[in-house]
A and B are shown apart, each in its own frame.
Chain A
């Protein structure tokens, strides 16, 4: 009997916390990493952008293009982005949504890296991404 209001309050707090991604502070490093990547691409600094890719994504790009990462990445003609529309973080994974672009990030140590970029929706299927790991 007495536990019902307590549980309701706990559920509400949990839902509010989870809806907010348990605090926006964890979104900032994700947003910063994505911004640094797209700024490097827009500035044609392929080396710097490649340094922000996840290891698996970088090696997959080099392997499929048969060229060094920097050149292969700039060839992809990734879109330029403005401010993110939404940032979602769950454990070691994150998604940054822009108006016409979606990026997936993964955490390595304390550093967020780009796992898939140039992603477009494909109905109920996973996003179709220009650059991604295997």
Chain B
């Protein structure tokens, strides 16, 4: 058991932090929602009602979609795009999907390679892009939920302001949808871009996300 915890400590720590942060967001969002309701002379919701409301759903989904987009783009763009000196980049002569030998697929697969990497054909093709496909599905699914929940929350506010609700298709072109979407995207792009550049010159001893402390700034694709 102790071995399992140690060997999975990274995913366990992030899982625990995720649940704690989500609980905190739910509680703070509930308090804020009820304060707004009270100020407008409207009824307050129980925590259970708030957790199933469109307000909570849109606040969660808009952050999820942008995080999955961030990793989706990072995984995909680093196949072709490079950053000299960054441990986040591949070596400068390895841009692209690389050879079957480099990727250990088909006849180049090793004895302990995943089965779908060995079989060839559509299975190996699909498995070769499985990470991006799953990330893309999570991104699109979260974005779809954001659009539906955001639409419902937006219309609830419009009704409070004595205005007609709008259709979902209209909401997809509305400033509220794009404001929620782009405010998340810009922060993700900034964070990833800074990481790629700062890691050229700065180090964190012991982290695989950094180059070794003594590695020259010009070394590319070297992780600690």
Contacts and interface: CB of A to CB of B under 8 A. Distances in A.
Nearest to B134: A3
Interface stretch (B68-76, B102-110, B146-154, B216-224): B146-154
Chain B interface, DSSP helix/strand/loop, else mixed: helix
Interface string B132-164: 010011001100100010011101100111111
Nearest to A97: B164
A56 B41 contact: yes
Nearest to B137: A3
Contacts of B165: 88, 90, 95
A54 B141 CA distance: 38
A7 interface: yes
Chain A interface, DSSP helix/strand/loop, else mixed: mixed
A90 B43 contact: no
Contact of A14 (B41, B53, B140, B148): B148
Interface residues of A, number: 34
Interface residues of B, number: 33
B41 A3 contact: no
Nearest to A7: B140
Contacts of B40: 56, 133
A63 to B, nearest CB: 13
A127 B164 CA distance: 8
Contact of A54 (B41, B133, B151): B41
Contact of B41 (A91, A93, A119, A133): A133
B21 interface: no
B156 A91 contact: yes
B156 A90 contact: yes
A7 B50 CA distance: 27
Interface in A83-134: 88, 90-95, 104, 106-109, 116, 119, 126-127, 129, 132-134
Listed from nearest, the 5 A-B pairs whose CB atoms lie closest are A56-B41, A93-B159, A126-B162, A91-B156, A90-B155
Interface of B: 37, 40-43, 45, 53-55, 126, 129, 133, 136-137, 140-141, 144, 148, 151-153, 155-156, 159-165, 167-169
